[in-house]
């Protein structure tokens, strides 16, 4: 069986996308608060990164 690089890359991208969506859902309130701070010219707080 040949290794399908294209399928592997797409699979990795989909997994990464789902992880980012989950991270955004977990940190939704923090993201909204930081957005409001940034829009008003203030420094946003740090949010725990995706690991």
Instruction: Measure the CA–CA gap between 33 and 16, rounded to whole angstroms.
Output: 24
pLDDT of residue 2: 65
Helix axes 28-39, 5-26, angle to 10 degrees: 80
How far apart CA 47 and CA 51 sit, in angstroms, is 12
What pLDDT sits at residue 4? 84
Structure confidence at residue 50 (pLDDT): 83
In this prediction, residue 35 carries a pLDDT of 96
Q: What is the pLDDT of residue 51?
A: 81
Cα diameter, the chain: 56
- Model's pTM, two decimal places? 0.73
Q: Where are the domains of the chain?
A: 1-51
- Using one digit for the tens of pLDDT, what is the confidence trace for 1-51? 567 888 888 999 999 999 999 999 999 999 999 999 999 999 999 999 988
């Amino acid at each position: 069986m040949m290794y399908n690089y294209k399928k592997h890359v797409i699979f990795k991208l989909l997994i990464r996308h789902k992880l980012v969506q989950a991270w955004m859902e977990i940190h939704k309130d923090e993201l909204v608060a930081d957005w409001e701070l940034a829009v008003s010219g203030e420094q946003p707080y740090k949010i725990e990164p995706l690991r």
